[in-house]
A and B are shown apart, each in its own frame.
Chain A
């Protein structure tokens, strides 16, 4: 009842202008929870209120004030619940509110909540400082492009490129220009770490998390510009700038888990592998015995796979395979992958990398395409009738 009463009061008071907004909050705010409830009573109302309120709602001081008030309320709540105010997290707040105000409503937005709520008209992240001052003029000269961070970054990069070229011209003027200048690591070379472990890392221009709304086309343009900068011989002058936007990618082979060899009672090394392809599953037990006998589900592989295409396997190992599901082709695919996985423990790193690049270690993600409504199959349409 109090909620609905508050709602109608709020709506009633709003009609008399934004000055009543403050009145509203003071009138019905005995506890912190109810205040936050007022703030999120109706999204439309809230937005209208803020738009009418003007620019003071968007200023940094307002946000800071909100955050401070929220912290005070949080401490009150912690005291109420008998918990330590210092270590009271948002999860604890949610649980306390749910305890104090149990609600059987289904919609999460309709339940009571206590949170720092920024005005919904605000599009920026809370940790980013504000784009305009008290006189409502924007600080950044590229604000009106709409993507100020992206364009400012492009602008900076190009400035650096021009600076490098100028430096080069100066050196040419003094006859000190050499083609064999210290080249910066260009975008696809290895940067081998001192330790000889498998996690050698390759430096490459990756995505920058600094740009919030960077679309892939803009990202591509940015990389193009960076590459142009890197193509200049004396780009090592601006190395720090470039390194800020580099992320390191792991070498894919380090992701492959290789199980150690297991030995059975006769001292023969063996390893297992299993894989799936398109609803067929296969398990393989690979034994390093040297005879080359391959048995699948008990029968010989020549009998199980009569098609020549399915039989392209090796002769050193002894294999016992179990395969089920799918058709003959997908069973073969499953077996191939499981054999490759089982073989990993017998091979060296270089061979493993070769296998990976030959495509023998990737599980094939292709499945049967679903049938769509309005069509007879996945692609086939119904017979077209003119009338």
Chain B
């Protein structure tokens, strides 16, 4: 057992090279989240959390990537968005665009705040991160469509989507919208901030696209039984 364990801890290449593989042996576990989780004392843990902790104490853990930090400014959703926006591995530019977008959103909101009458001031959201998250939430579709072949024809069948898929679709639509449907002279961060603010108030092209998808799914309800999983 000891011999096989040392083999599991080394950098590893799988015997059959699949498309998606990693240098970690599957024996390794993902690194833990934020610091707060570790500060919960033993007594307040649920049985699952206890089991998880014990499992983690026995198994080796993968290294944390460069983009994951334990600082308060680290946002996993935002990191994902930055990665999706990145082209050719140029994360500096992508991160720059996002920071400019957030700054731009903040400026616009603060301007609106100062111009608004007293009663309306409390309703205006100034935190750009909150706006970003809410906008993304508003863009997430609830139901999706997939192509299923039956009797020689392909039908668009409504299917439930996982959380990851929904988040991915929302981000993808946002980015493609900002890349395609803008005037030649507007910069990316400008267009992105406009779209995010629109999505925050449930207007704009991305939210329209989400509604269209829902309508299509509704109209194809008859084929829902084609799904076998």
Q: Which residues of A contact B (CB under 8 A)?
A: 188-190, 202, 204, 206-207, 209, 247, 249-253, 307-310, 312, 329, 332-333, 336-337, 353-354, 356-360, 362-367
Contact = CB atoms under 8 A, between A and B. Distances in A.
A207 B4 contact: yes
Interface centre among A333, A356, A365, A367 (most CB of B within 10 A): A365
B60 A202 contact: no
Given A362-B63, A363-B63, A249 B23 contact: no
Q: 3 closest Cβ contacts across the A-B interface?
A: A359-B31, A365-B11, A359-B64
Contacts of B62: 359, 362
30 contacts: A188-B51, A189-B54, A206-B1, A207-B1, A207-B4, A209-B1, A249-B5, A252-B61, A312-B71, A329-B66, A354-B35, A356-B61, A357-B31, A357-B38, A358-B31, A358-B32, A358-B64, A359-B31, A359-B61, A359-B63, A360-B64, A362-B61, A363-B63, A364-B63, A364-B65, A365-B10, A365-B11, A365-B23, A366-B22, A367-B11
A202 B12 CA distance: 25
Given A357-B32, A366-B23, A251 B67 contact: no
A249 B5 CA distance: 9
Given A354-B38, A358-B32, A251 B1 contact: no
Contacts of A250: 58
A88 to B, nearest CB: 29
Contacts of A358: 31-32, 35, 64, 70
Contact of A204 (B23, B31, B56, B58): B58
Contacts of A336: 66
Contacts of A309: 66-67, 91, 95
Nearest to A248: B1
Interface centre among B11, B58, B59 (most CB of A within 10 A): B58
A336 B69 CA distance: 11
Interface string B75-98: 000000000000000011001000
A112 B70 CA distance: 65
A203 to B, nearest CB: 10
Contact of B69 (A249, A312, A356, A366): A312
Contacts, number: 87
Contact of B57 (A202, A308, A312, A329): A202
A364 B28 CA distance: 12
Contacts of B66: 309-310, 329, 332-333, 336
B1 A247 contact: yes
A367 B11 CA distance: 10
A329 B66 CA distance: 7
A209 B31 CA distance: 31
Contacts of A209: 1
B24 interface: yes
B161 interface: no
A357 B55 CA distance: 11
A266 B115 CA distance: 60
B69 A357 contact: no
A188 B55 contact: yes
Nearest to A372: B17
Contacts of B55: 188
A175 to B, nearest CB: 29
Nearest to B31: A359
Contacts of A312: 69-71
A357 B51 contact: no
Contacts of A333: 63, 66
Contacts of A249: 5, 58
B59 A252 contact: yes
Nearest to A353: B57
Interface in B141-170: none
Interface in B21-40: 22-24, 28, 30-32, 35, 38
A202 B1 contact: no
Contacts of A362: 28, 31, 60-63
A332 B5 CA distance: 30
A365 B24 contact: yes
Nearest to A357: B32
Nearest to A363: B63
A250 B5 CA distance: 10
Contacts of A252: 57-61
B59 A367 contact: no
Contacts of B60: 252, 362
Contacts of A332: 66
Nearest to A189: B54
Contacts of A360: 31, 63-64
A312 B62 CA distance: 19
Given A188-B51, A209-B1, A366-B23, A251 B57 contact: yes
Contacts of B5: 249
Contacts of A190: 54
Given A207-B4, A312-B69, A357 B56 contact: yes
Contacts of B12: 365
A332 B61 CA distance: 20
B152 to A, nearest CB: 27
A306 B128 CA distance: 24
Interface in B109-160: none
B84 to A, nearest CB: 16
